[in-house]
């Protein structure tokens, strides 16, 4: 099927890579071809024939965003660049698909719904919330809020697999609770929203299955990969970061309600099944 009317921004990131696999004939760019923080570059870009922009670009270094340079960079990519894309989407009547995060919330709610008021704890979270506000002025947008993204790139599962292989027994936080989201699931949800005539607006998108802490997820990673899960010990976020400088505060509760997405006819896949398959693939490569 021809998807040349779709344009993927931030194409080399974890999600961008999954979107290019989902839409092999879509047009795409990463920062080298189009730096979306430059209003001029975005305005001078040839948008003819594009009816949908998928924005997978972001500044995702949560702790880096707490530094003086990182703060500027995070606001540029997560807020200013999004406003640049919003202007273009408005001008050419393009549908904008944008990705946001549970970090726009303080994590005190047991379950996050799409209409929860913003309460970001960190610079990254605040810059993402600003991006969300910009997107929401459009008539045609899908804003997907997700958590704990795993795909092609540096991510938590790969880090833990590497520790397991090296015989390291990690201490992992047990007070942050949520669900993994595989980039294939995000790409599938985006395609579902775009093709099912779902009402425009904000949707939570994560994998389904039992909510778990990072420590519990790590035990699953060790066990699926054939290592002893008793090598993983629990710690708290406060203990883990004690004495470390420049650490961004993290929301503890990251469980997203999937009801609104499910009401559009989308059945979210279980993260444990996806994790098992992901690890099997990693071990083959």
Ligand X SMILES: NC(=O)c1ccc[n+]([C@@H]2O[C@H](COP(=O)([O-])OP(=O)(O)OC[C@H]3O[C@@H](n4cnc5c(N)ncnc54)[C@H](OP(=O)(O)O)[C@@H]3O)[C@@H](O)[C@H]2O)c1
For residues 56 and 279, which CB has a smaller minimum distance to ligand X in the complex? 56
For residues 57 and 138, which CB has a smaller minimum distance to ligand X in the complex? 57
For residues 157 and 225, which CB has a smaller minimum distance to ligand X in the complex? 157
For residues 101 and 220, which CB has a smaller minimum distance to ligand X in the complex? 101
Known catalytic residues?
124
Q: Using CB under 6 A as the criterion, which residues of the chain lie in contact with ligand X when the complex forms?
A: 9-10, 12-16, 30-31, 35-37, 56-58, 60, 77, 81, 99, 101, 128, 146-149, 153
Q: How far is the CB of 280 from ligand X (least distance, A)?
A: 22
Q: How far is the CB of 38 from ligand X (least distance, A)?
A: 8
Q: How far is the CB of 186 from ligand X (least distance, A)?
A: 8
Extract the tokens encoding 155.
Answer: 């991510």
For residues 157 and 279, which CB has a smaller minimum distance to ligand X in the complex? 157
The residue with its CB nearest to ligand X is 13
Q: How far is the CB of 45 from ligand X (least distance, A)?
A: 12
Q: How far is the CB of 97 from ligand X (least distance, A)?
A: 11
């Amino acid at each position: 099927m021809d998807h040349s009317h779709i344009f993927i921004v931030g194409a080399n990131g974890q999600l961008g890579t999954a979107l290019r696999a989902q839409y092999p004939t879509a047009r795409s760019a990463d920062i080298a071809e189009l730096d979306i923080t430059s209003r001029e570059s975005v305005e001078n870009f040839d948008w003819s024939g594009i009816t949908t922009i998928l924005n997978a670009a972001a500044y995702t270094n949560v702790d880096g965003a707490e530094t003086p340079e990182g703060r500027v960079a995070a606001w540029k990519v997560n807020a200013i660049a999004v406003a640049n894309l919003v202007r273009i989407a408005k001008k050419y009547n393009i549908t904008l698909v944008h990705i946001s995060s549970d970090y726009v919330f303080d994590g005190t709610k047991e379950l996050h719904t799409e209409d929860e008021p913003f309460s970001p704890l960190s610079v990254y979270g605040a810059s993402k919330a600003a991006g969300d506000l910009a997107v929401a002025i459009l008539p045609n947008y899908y804003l997907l809020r997700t958590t704990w993204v795993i795909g092609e790139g540096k991510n938590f599962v790969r880090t833990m697999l590497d520790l397991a292989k090296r015989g390291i027994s990690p201490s992992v936080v047990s007070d942050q609770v949520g669900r993994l989201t595989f980039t294939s699931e995000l790409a599938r949800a985006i395609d579902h929203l775009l093709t099912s005539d779902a009402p425009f607006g904000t949707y939570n998108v994560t994998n389904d299955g039992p909510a778990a802490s990072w420590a519990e997820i790590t035990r699953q990673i060790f066990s699926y990969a054939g290592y002893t899960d008793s090598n993983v010990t629990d710690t708290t976020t406060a203990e883990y970061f004690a004495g470390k400088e420049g650490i961004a505060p993290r929301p503890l509760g990251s469980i997203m309600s999937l009801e609104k997405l499910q009401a559009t006819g989308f059945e979210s896949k279980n993260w444990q099944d996806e994790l098992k398959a992901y690890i099997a693939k990693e071990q083959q490569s």
